Amino acid sequence: MGKQLFNDPHLSADGTIRCASCHIPDKDYTDGRSVAIGVYGHSGTRNTPSLPSVEAAHETSFFWDGRRYALDKAVLDPLTNPVEMGLRDQAQLLRRVQQEPPYGRAFAQAYPDAPQAITTDHIANALVDYVRSLKAPESPYDRYALLADASALNPRAMLGLALFKGKARCAECHLLKGTPPMLTDHAYHRTGVGLDAINQHLPALTQAVIERSLQGADIGNRVATHADESQLGRFNVTQDPADIGLFRTPSLRNVSHTAPYMHDGSVATLDDAIDREVYYRSLEAGRPLQLTVEEREDLKAFLQAL
């Protein structure tokens, strides 16, 4: 039932967009765009995250700013976001599902002991079950780390692994713990991406966020429709000035297949992402990391094995 819902364009305002329009299976459940394109051709403000890492990385918060802590809440948000699937509210979603006979049959099979009426909880639960069923294929690093297959990583990737854990400091945030490795610390970090564009009017922008929040405006809808506001990151959730520009650490599983990168898709290639992260780590350390050209290629080879 979750797969059926995930692939149904009837659940969008204009009948053209489905969950799978942005989370495309052949693109590791991303869309290859800088930002998502939703109903009526509307552009969003955030890069589409890959879905197989949700279960593999044991994700504990969702969306780039971590505004949802429960997946059954997160899966419904895009359906009523004005620039994603565009339904007015969950009541309209429920009516559309209830009016389709195939869903009645699928519901009866999925929830045989439940009352006759389909609820939004059932819709959310079915979508959650489907998302959690998505598995990334076994990677060379999985075979190396979990199966002790010493031949799974080529010599260049082995050098990259040493850099990842050491000099490049990647493993401080993209943890190699877990089975399979999570490749995230489930925390929030600042790389400076997007901040240059809003620095000059930051006081007015943050005040506007606080005012809209007091009026009860939905965070997801605000972020999707205000490009500058979306660059504030975690601040949109906490309204703590220390959180301006912080974004959730994404898992790096299949990272070589999920370009472009960063919360706004502004970093086009894996090489560019490595350069950006090396620069950020240098700022954090207070000294340049000074990776050579060869070392960057080694690090890239390891990332391609994740």
Tell me, what's the pLDDT at 115?
73
Query: What is the residue type of 206?
Result: T
Inform me whether the pLDDT recorded for 62 exceeds 90.
Answer: yes
pTM, full prediction: 0.93
DSSP-derived secondary structure letter, 88: S
Inform me whether the pLDDT recorded for 125 exceeds 90.
Answer: yes
Query: What is the residue type of 277?
Result: E
**What digits encode the pLDDT tens for the residues 91-120?**
999 999 999 888 988 888 888 887 778 899
Residue 131 parent element (H or E) = helix 120-133
Tell me, what's the pLDDT at 55?
94
Tell me, what's the pLDDT at 63?
97
Terminal CA-to-CA distance of the chain, rounded, Å?
A: 31
**What digits encode the pLDDT tens for the residues 13-47?**
999 999 999 999 999 999 999 999 999 999 999 99
Measure the CA dihedral 37/41/44/48, to 10°: -10
Inform me whether the pLDDT recorded for 289 exceeds 90.
Answer: no
Are the C-beta atoms of residues 185 and 173 closer than 8 Å to each other?
yes
